[in-house]
Amino acid sequence: MMDSTGAASESQDGNVSRSASAGRETDLGSDGQAVGTPTSDVLLSLRGISKHFGPVTALDGVDIEVPAGRVTALLGDNGAGKSTLIKVIAGIHEADHGDLYWNGERVQIRTPHDATALGVATVYQDLALCDNLDIVANMFLGVEVRRHGTLDETPMELTARETLAGLSVTSVRSIRQAVGSLSGGQRQSVAVARAVMGDAKLVIMDEPTAALGVSQTAMVLELIRRLAAGGIAVLVISHNLNDVFAVADRVAILHLGRLVSSGPASEYDRQSAVEIMTTGMLSERENGVHSAPARS
């Protein structure tokens, strides 16, 4: 079986142990460092994150590390806790228990403002764009540049143009084009550009390719690659495993609020990922095939 830091292991009572928690302090990697100990490239580290809504446990002792310049895919079936976890990171929900570390320093994220101040930007599935406004107005919505009490359009246009160019978004006809006239891939690009315009260090993307066509999906996946290549940490939630394995460097799988498996994307395939997502563990047959340890 994968070791306790990577895939789910089965305890004596038949329950699946939490891979991210079990063995972190004692298992050693090839370099002699304790597995799970934050390294220099880890931007965000979550330790023992739990969240309850009344009697419902949405997250139960979740440990996840999100490295800078890498794409981390957060997988799980419906109800696994993915949305709750990203809302904890984004400051919409405050964790009941656990610690968050940013560049190795313990931080508290209690509000969206706290998350934004750190450099966390979240692009939700609905994108939160105003169809009746143009690209510039959407990118500066709520943070407009004003001069003598009126909108200063020139610096906003320049910044919007430079941000889109920096992301190699070239398919937009005009930055004064109404967002309602854009394709799905272009809309996603505008939402991401708005996020990184504020010097984002971590971009969370919720189902970024949902309901997109083939060419639009390819555009968004290339955008994700460019974000990571620019040193930005990307955390992606997606049910489309083809898209996940096209861009992900790392995979973290939740099952019923627990992290049951995490590690390099190369140590998973679609079949093993689906099995862990739905059952919380690998079958003996799959364990024989996927025997390499998946380190966090």
Domains annotated on the chain, with CATH: 1-8+16-119+201-296 (3.40.50.300), 121-199 (no CATH)
Give yes or no for a contact between 70 and 251, defined as CB atoms under 8 angstroms apart: no
Q: What is the largest CA-CA distance in the chain?
A: 70
Token pair 């009697």: residue: 55
Neighbouring CB atoms inside 10 A of 200's CB total 22
Neighbouring CB atoms inside 10 A of 11's CB total 10
Q: Which pLDDT value is given to residue 133?
A: 94
**How far, in Å, CA of 96 to CA of 214, rounded?**
41
Q: Which pLDDT value is given to residue 294?
A: 40
Q: Which pLDDT value is given to residue 283?
A: 61
**How far, in Å, CA of 9 to CA of 291, rounded?**
12
Q: Which pLDDT value is given to residue 40?
A: 56
Low-confidence ranges of the chain (pLDDT < 50): 1-38, 285, 288-296
Dig out the tokens for 293 from the structure.
């340890």
**How far, in Å, CA of 37 to CA of 239, rounded?**
29
Q: Which pLDDT value is given to residue 248?
A: 97
